[in-house]
Amino acid sequence: MRRSAALFWLLCASATAQPAPHNLIFRNVDVFDGFRMLRNQTVAVTDGMIATSPSANAEAIDGTGKTLLPGLIDAHIHISQVQSLEQAAALGVTTNLDMYAGYMQNLMKLRTELKAGQHPNAADFRTAGVGITAPKGHPTELMPDIKLPTLGPKDDVQAFVDARIAEGSDYIKIMYEHQLPTFTKEQLAAIVRAAHRRGKLAVSHISTQAEAYDAIDAGVDGLAHIFDDSPPKPDFASFAAAHHIFVIGTLSVLQAFAGAPTGSQLADDPRLGPYLFGPSWQIIHVKLPKQFSRGHRFEYAQAAMRQLHAAGVPLLAGTDAPNPDTGWGISLHHEMELLTGCGLTTLEALHAATAGPAREFFLIDRGRIEPGRRADLLLVNGDPSKDIRATRAIVGVWKAGVRINRDQVRQEAEKSRH
Ligand SMILES: [Zn+2]
């Protein structure tokens, strides 16, 4: 009995041991460094970091015909369990910014396990934790089984925000959504001030243009969506630019809301679909009922993004997976393509999924390929600066210098689909 317990412990210990980061040298590789393309480069990785020169025992990787990019960052996602992060990593997304977590204890447990090296194939994440919403506000209707904390008109705003930070929120997400009970503009501004007093970013959910104006006026740092209810007013982008905000477009989900699903097509791509776990495979194939698209016009969202881009407002790639028609990791490739449809060049779209979100969310250790940054890397065949879809031709993904075992993730995903 004691013996088998010891054996069990040994097996667990070996399964969860932290893999040592490999020293690497990529040769003859084109590099997107977070801003621009650099041709025919050598990139060295030592102890999980990008180094100025290769170490003697480095594993050589020939990059001929390939492009090396920073691991991608999805700036609007919701994660629940480790599979979300394994799927994301296998598909090149090494950092995920969670924008509302109903099950905060699960995420904090996951964070501890990741730190201990227990999930070598899982992407990294940051989380808003439980977002700040009014009693019966969005998204309480989506999680009727959980007793979510809500902020009533008489509650102490600072104490509420502090409680979220104590739970582990990395930034503060505010739910400003008038289809359900929500905050007054004064409350919104008070929440933003409370977040800023603690040095935290305040990001707001909005779905209409009026809400977007209110949130910007209240001092938020960023919008977690663009609106799709009305064409942007002529001064919308200059108003946003004057307030120095960033905008996470979530075009993937808005396109689905507007009645133009793309998820099945993405999942049919043999380079992407096989990495989807069962639940994600189901959600990406969910078709929203026709009447749902009432009030959603994708061309309004595109027009607003185009206007913001022209005004120089930082645009970040975020998918809002796992909403219907979207999936972890997979949808970010589509999101970058959608950004190019709003006037961004391919380089700007890649920036929106790498150095852009790293800068806005103060993830100073990543998002760029240069010595001293974490070796979160994505190697693809071809040149995504010429064809943005080349990001889907994944050759390898590394998290802090450790290669994600994509074959293992694909096999586990396949099993979970049957
Ligand atoms: Zn969301």
Report how far ligand 1's centroid is from the alpha carbon of 147 (Å): 19
- Quote the ligand 1 centre to 272 CA distance (angstroms): 22
Positive or negative: CA dihedral 187, 189, 191, 197:
negative
> What's this model's pTM, rounded to 2 decimal places?
0.94
Rounded CA gap, 417 and 99, in Å?
A: 26
CATH of domain 71-131+225-366: 3.20.20
Phi, psi dihedrals of residue 147, rounded to the nearest 5°: -90, 95
Q: How far is the CA of 99 from the centre of ligand 1 (A)?
A: 6
20 alpha carbon to ligand 1 midpoint, in Å? 34
Distance of CA 181 from the midpoint of ligand 1 (Å): 18
Bridge partners, residue 60, by sequence: 25
CB 95 within 8 A of CB 58: no
Supply the Cα-derived Rg of the chain in whole angstroms.
21
Q: How far is the CA of 11 from the centre of ligand 1 (A)?
A: 38
- End-to-end, the C-alpha distance of the chain in Å comes to 35
- pLDDT score, position 80: 84
Task: Answer left, alpha or beta for residue 367, where phi above 0 means left and psi between -120 and 50 means alpha.
Answer: left
Q: Give pLDDT, residue 48.
A: 95
Instruction: Identify the helix (H) or strand (E) that includes residue 132.
Output: none
d(CA 351, ligand 1 centre) in Å: 21
Q: Please tell me the distance between residue 372's alpha carbon and the centre of ligand 1 in angstroms.
A: 32
Nearest residue to 317 (alpha-carbon basis) of 285, 298, 299, 340:
340
Domain boundaries, the chain: 71-131+225-366
Q: What are phi and psi of 68, to 5 degrees?
A: -105, 130
Ligand 1 centroid–CA 165 distance in Å is 19
Going from the first residue of the chain to its last (418 residues), give the mean pLDDT of each consecutive group of 10, the final group possibly shorter. 40 49 92 98 97 93 98 96 97 98 93 96 98 94 88 97 97 97 97 98 98 98 98 98 98 96 97 98 94 93 98 98 97 98 98 98 98 98 98 98 97 96
In the beta sheet, which residues pair with residue 125? 96
| Single-letter amino acid code for the residue at 4 | S
pLDDT attached to residue 61: 97
What is the C-alpha to C-alpha distance for residues 295 and 227, in angstroms, rounded to an integer?
A: 11
Residues in the chain: 418
Centre of ligand 1 from the C-alpha of residue 50, in Å: 32
Ligand 1 mean position, distance from CA 126 (Å): 14
CA of 311 to the centre of ligand 1 (A): 25
Contact 413, 275 (CB under 8 A): yes
Beta strand pairing call for 24-32 and 37-46: antiparallel
Q: How far is the CA of 31 from the centre of ligand 1 (A)?
A: 31
C-alpha 12 to ligand 1 mean position (Å): 35
Q: Are 139 and 203 in contact (CB under 8 A)?
A: no
Ligand 1 centroid, distance to 98 Cα (angstroms): 8
For residue 371, the SS3 value is coil
Considering only CA atoms, which of 74, 71, 89 is closest in space to residue 339?
Answer: 74
Tokens of 301: 């969202």
Cα(47) to ligand 1 centroid in Å equals 35
- Cα–Cα nearest to 97, from 123, 127, 60: 127
Q: What contacts 84, CB < 8 A, 6 or more positions away?
A: 77, 96, 280, 322, 328
Cα 77 to ligand 1 centroid, rounded to whole Å: 6
Q: Output the CA 100–ligand 1 centroid distance in Å.
A: 7
CB–CB of 164/196 below 8 Å? no
Q: Which two tokens stand for residue 162?
A: 């502090």
* Predicted local distance difference test score (pLDDT) of residue 19: 63
HSE-up (13 A, CA, CB side) for residue 230: 11
CA of 320 to the centre of ligand 1 (A): 5
